[in-house]
Structure 1
Amino acid sequence: MRAGPCLRSTLLTTLFCYGAALALAWRGQKALPPPIGLYDQSSGGDDEAGESRTTQRLLQTKDSYIAEYGFQNFNRHWLQVQYQAPKTAYGVYCDGFGYAKDDLDAIDAWHNKARQGAYKFAISAKKTQAQLDAAMAKLKAERDKKVADYLASRGFKLRPGGIVMADVPHIVRRSAEPLRPLAMAFERIAVAKSYDSESLVGSVAAMAQTALHYRIPPVLEDGRHTAGIMPPLKALVRGWGDCDTKTGLLASVLANWPHMRMVGIAVPGHYLMGVLRIPAKGDAFVEYQGLQYVLIEPAGPAWLPPGTVGEDTLPKLQAAEGFAIEPFFDAQG
């Protein structure tokens, strides 16, 4: 999966055409106003080793959040990227994730009221028990659909048994466009340094692994349930995330490149991803619908190039429980 000059040029043009207006909205002015809050942290390390040398600078102005990251990619090049999010747009984005118990209670209240109404109508209209049962079943199906639709709109999916899980592919699809300016920043670096697509993907992966700290999000924040995942843009602005959060961030950035095909890999207690590429010798990969996807570990803090998984991950992939593969886009290609 190597991108020659023509593909890089086409990619840059595509990103510019689709992302120009959004870049103006999300990046704002080039000259940054004075910060009103600042978090600045560096992780020292040996330049030769590269694994631990990162910088992270998080600040906010009156109108924007700004995240600046410095890190070393797998070409052993020191890279720096910056992302600026207007507070209004950021707030709208964050408000679209997480579900509230009050909202689910409201659906149940509607269901109970509808059941009472159906029962009273059945009595007054002298309906049979079979007709009443059918009406109740229809209301139950409508209630379940309302719950599923609500959760889906908030970035979650409902599994059998009433288990609520984060819908990582859905989160990636919703986050790709807001993160397009960051993808454009990486594309400019790739063109300047004559990177092929493998180096480009590796650069974004290195940022997710090392420049963002590893931390598990709370399951409840600001009155909303999170299922332990943070939406990618929030992770970028805050500077941290866990395995599924960082996977969502990496995939959302990569989703801005044409023909990038990706899958999520859910193993017990862990989440990673794969990108469509012919595996090199020694690469870890999975097969999905007859195609091979090379694995990437976005979680960090280990500095692992694409094709290399953590020492704890491989046994989970080989375990009897197996693993689930989730395509990040329904129609990939």
Structure 2
Amino acid sequence: MTAVAVVLAVVAGGAYGAEALSDHGRRQLPGPAAAPSAQTVKVKQTDLSDSQTLSGVLGFDAPVTVKGTGKGVISRLPAAGSAVSRGKPLYWVDDEPVTVFFGDTPFFRPLEKAGTTGRDVTVLVENLQALGYELGPRPRQSAGTGGAAAGTGTELTTGVLDALKRWQHDTGRKETGTLDPGRAVVLSGPSRVDTVSAQLGDPATEEVLGLTSQEKTVTVKIDAGSAGSVHRGDKVTITLPDAKNVPGKVESVSTTVQGKADDGTGDAAASTPTLQVKVRPTHSADVAKLDAASVQVAFTAETRKNVLVVPVGALLALSEGGYALQRPGGKLVGVETGLFARGLVEVSGAGVKEGDVVVTAS
């Protein structure tokens, strides 16, 4: 009997121990995964802008070459970086200054005889007036008598010729009352000497120097497919190398496409078609210390004022079409979507207002 009792006790103890071990094992197993906690956000009212930021290069425009005219040799040249202003010498020929005038027609003949008319006379008249010289009775506009080259322009009067003499006297020139085309160069506006190609002693008819605008611009290449969103006059933000943001404006959008679409041949020469955009800083002083630099330009294509926005992850696509927002309790509220930008989306609808709490996946 004792043996039997011992055996029963052992069996019972083994059964109890097995149950205890089983309970211990179950306690060590991980429980079922908990449902992820829903993230929530509030519907906000703000301005939403669709923008893109592209790399650009700050610098001066490509230089325009100035070629001399007339007889003589170059006897003095400006330094690279020099400012070019109206009424000031640009370079010297036979030790006489070649003066800068502003306009759109070069001097192509001597201006010395009253009664001559043409656009070149107009340039002389406008520059003498801009330099502060009285011209007497206002020169009249008339059809030129110098052929097609002269075209419609201004008449050269004795008052203009007298003013020319006074200007020659005031600037230390010979008072001839004649403007020799070899002693004046007509430019489109204030400029800067970028390069000097001539050497002292070269003939006056050589290429003398290269000029750029005095103001710097930023050149940006933009995908031709999205260039329609960029327009002349658009305001932009330029980020300089020191991370400073300065305002700018689109000056021009090229109509010439550069590059070509990938034709699938793997040709390394194939590239995305682009257009060149010129951006000018609003304040030249902002970039005065930089001659050239890589910058970033932010273009804003569209701005929506005072609209309701949520993260894009808060949108739920409905099986019947359209979108909805979900309340924390599970209720769905249908919305209309507007502008998508910077991970946010514009929403509207009768059931949504600023401050509403909605579920979002991001």
TM-score normalised by the shorter chain: which range applies?
Answer: under 0.3
Structure number with the higher strand fraction is 2
Structure with higher RCO (Cα < 8 A, 6+ apart): 2
Q: Give the structure-2-normalised TM-score.
A: 0.15
Q: Give the structure-1-normalised TM-score.
A: 0.16
